[in-house]
């Protein structure tokens, strides 16, 4: 699993004009990509990392500050544009594999005590955020 993690001061996701997920104030906006060999165990590992990674102000984590997370599925994180002008998506898991694993990340975060908002899997989403820093890291498990 691969995640692009951005420290934000607010973020939201809109589908068809409706806000389906929103966090206000300091937190993390997390774009999650799934590849073919990912498992529920990797989803749990990613959730633990997201909950405890110390990238918020003052080297704090979401668990330290009870900061919210906005988790959005994004298959394009496994796009490959090394050859030609058009990316390939061969490394991205198909929706029937990816969706339950993204849901597992969210469920595990909630089990840890996190407030988690989400996008809508497979939808055309409009994501708005204020990157705080800017501060962006890539996490792979």
pLDDT digits (tens, 9 = 90+) for 35-70: 999 999 999 999 999 999 999 999 999 999 999 999
Lookup result for tokens 């995640």: 3
Alpha-helical regions (H) of 33-139: 40-52, 62-65, 95-111
Is residue 74 annotated as a catalytic residue, yes or no?
A: yes
Distance between CA atoms of residues 79 and 50, nearest Å = 22
Question: Could you say which of 76, 88, 128, 130 is catalytic?
Answer: 76
109's CB contacts (< 8 A; 6+ apart) are: 47, 50, 51, 69, 71, 116
* Predicted structure pTM score: 0.95
Is residue 39 annotated as a catalytic residue, yes or no?
A: no
pLDDT at 20: 98
pLDDT digits (tens, 9 = 90+) for 73-109: 999 999 999 999 999 999 999 999 999 999 999 999 9
């Amino acid at each position: 699993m691969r995640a692009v993690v951005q420290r934000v001061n607010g973020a939201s996701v809109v589908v068809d004009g409706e806000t389906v997920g929103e966090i206000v104030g300091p937190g993390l906006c997390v774009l999650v990509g799934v590849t073919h060999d990912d498992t529920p165990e990797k989803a749990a590992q990613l959730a633990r990392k997201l909950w405890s990674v110390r990238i918020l102000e003052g080297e704090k984590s979401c668990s330290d500050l009870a900061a919210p997370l906005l988790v959005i599925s994004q298959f394009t994180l496994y796009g490959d544009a090394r050859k030609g002008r058009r990316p390939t998506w061969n490394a991205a898991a198909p929706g029937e594999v990816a969706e339950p694993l993204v849901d597992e990340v969210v469920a595990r975060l909630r089990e840890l005590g996190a407030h988690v908002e989400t996008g809508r899997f497979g939808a055309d989403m409009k994501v708005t955020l204020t990157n705080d820093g800017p501060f962006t890291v890539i996490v792979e498990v």
